[in-house]
Structure 1
Amino acid sequence: MTLSSTEPAAPTAAPPRPVVRRLHPSAPLRWLARGARDLRAAPGIALFYGVCFWAMAIALAAVFRHKPEYTMTIISGCLLVGPFLAMGLYEASRRAEQGEPASLGASLTCWDRRLGSMGLLVLVLTVLELLWGRASLVVFAVFFDTGMPSTAGVLEAVFNPRNWKFVAVYLAVGGIFAALVFCTTVVSVPMILDRDTDAVTAGLTSFRVVLDNLPVMVAWGLVVAGLTLLALWPGSLGLLFVGPWLGHATWHAYRDAVAWPEPAAA
């Protein structure tokens, strides 16, 4: 009679943990230069996504003209689509980085293998945006107790020096939520695309990138906001170029900010 012995199973190697790098103050300029290079390498893909961003801006403008108090709510809807559009641009930059040919089809379907992680991240963003929209409505209700103003009323309130308290509170509320969204997403979506990381790890890593490189990331946020505002005039046509440009640049921001240690050799 022979006795068989069972060997213990080999321990499963832990997945690599992302390492946040220190960034040079000139890093945003490098990201923009690399983003422009990717845009020139695949102009057709850039144009497709640029048209998508432009259409979203036109929809937002239409809502603002007719129902300004619901502008932030519509932005929440854009967040359901925006990360998936941005992921397509990240995929184009990833393929260029690896020497693979550009493909609009691949950029449109790259998210399907990361649907779980992306779904959770979009859910978090949607909650943030819904809270942002609700907070904006509360600010309107507090300062306009006679009812929601028309678009002309909103513009008059913004440019009337006597309403500085309304403008200050509205900008403060918006700034807090915008900072939260920026910190959550600055590298999380390209990170999910690159490594299929879960949404919690990606979001926390994104916050770490901002906190560990605060001056650089504040500058990057101002660059993104400034270029986006400039692209809105005239008729938001600038988004046809600026939207894809910033999308490609964000991929390079992630690649500079997050490193992945090589797995240990067996």
Structure 2
Amino acid sequence: MTDSPAPVSASAPAAPLVLTPLGWRDPFRWLARGLRDVAAAPGIALFYGGCFWLMALVLGWVFRASPEYTMSLVSGCLLVGPFLAMGLYETSRRRELGLPPQLGESITCWDSHMGSMGMLVLVLVVLELLWGRASLVVFAVFFNTGMPSTTGVVQAIFSPGNWQFIVVYLLVGGVFAALVFSSTVVSIPMILDRDTDALTAGIASVRVVLENPGVMLLWGALITALVVLSLWWTWGAGLLVVGPVLGHASWHAYRAAVAAPRAAEPAVSAPPQDGA
């Protein structure tokens, strides 16, 4: 009689991370897809846009009234911002899957990724604190008479006579901004999509930037320009639209930069063995 053992399933290893080369037109495609997501779920976009606008209004008021608390408030924004962005990513993800976007699902989508998101936010806060400390050092070097008032800060930044201070300040700020951008450009949507840990997602994000430096520089410049323009218009009301568009577009940037994992391989069965 011949005995055939039951099939043995080979455990499939974790899908390797595959990055996709990006082209110069891709950032504009991401923005166009972000606009389509906003048009498909305008209510959700208005909710998150209102949150971004409120954060900008409060930050501007604190900067004018009590500038010494500005950096503390920025830290709070860095705590809240990633969770708001994840809600927009969840809306785009549901549209990809053919599911109806729901505000409730977008608000609570982070609860199953709390550990990874908490670690990533902690890194962002540490970077922001270091950024703030470095800015204070730059001011201390160039303004040895003491920290200027709010009006003095604005005059110092926009005064051509302080070009050395402006160059150093922008260089220091650019370094920290590049660190924040590089570590988050695809990490948060990756945590939502693949439930990866913060370290893996952060490293993948840095890899995307290093392998596509020109395109990522263009993407960062577009984000900066759109945010500045939205803040310039009617007390920052442009964030009502620009914020959600950039959030949805960032999801499409992740989708374009990181290839979707391949479908799991079928189970492998052990060959039958002849027995007497």
Q: Shared fold by TM > 0.5?
A: yes
Q: For the residues of structure 2 that align with 1:263 and 1:113, how far apart are their CA atoms?
A: 23
Alignment root-mean-square deviation, CA: 1.5
Aligned twin of 2:172: 173
Q: Which deviations, in whole Å up to 9, do the C-alpha atoms of 1:209-244 show, x marking residues without a partner?
A: 111111111100000000000000220000000000
Aligned twin of 1:262: 263
Structure 2 stretches of 5 or more lacking a match?
A: 1-5, 268-276
Structure 1 stretches of 5 or more lacking a match?
A: 1-6
- 1:17–1:261 Cα contact (<8 Å) kept: no
Q: Report matched runs for 1:1-266 at 5 Å.
A: 12-233=11-232, 234-259=234-259, 260-266=261-267
- 1:35–1:249 Cα contact (<8 Å) kept: yes
- How many residue pairs get aligned? The number is 259
Give the letter aligned to residue 122 of structure 2: L
- The CA deviation at 1:263 is 2.5
Q: Which deviations, in whole Å up to 9, do the C-alpha atoms of 1:140-172 show, x marking residues without a partner?
A: 222222221111111111222221111111111
Q: For the residues of structure 2 that align with 1:193 and 1:106, how far apart are their CA atoms?
A: 12
Q: For the residues of structure 2 that align with 1:211 and 1:69, how far apart are their CA atoms?
A: 36
Larger Rg: 2
Q: For the residues of structure 2 that align with 1:145 and 1:69, how far apart are their CA atoms?
A: 18
Distance change (3 Å), C-alpha of 1:138 and 1:66:
farther
Give the letter aligned to residue 244 of structure 1: P
- The CA deviation at 1:15 is 1.5
Give the letter aligned to residue 180 of structure 2: V
Name which structure has the greater RCO, CA cutoff 8 Å, separation 6+: 2
Q: Which deviations, in whole Å up to 9, do the C-alpha atoms of 1:169-195 show, x marking residues without a partner?
A: 111110000000000000000000001
Q: For the residues of structure 1 that align with 2:226 and 2:120, how far apart are their CA atoms?
A: 25
Q: For the residues of structure 1 that align with 2:19 and 2:46, how far apart are their CA atoms?
A: 32
Give the letter aligned to residue 20 of structure 1: L
TM-score (norm 1): 0.93
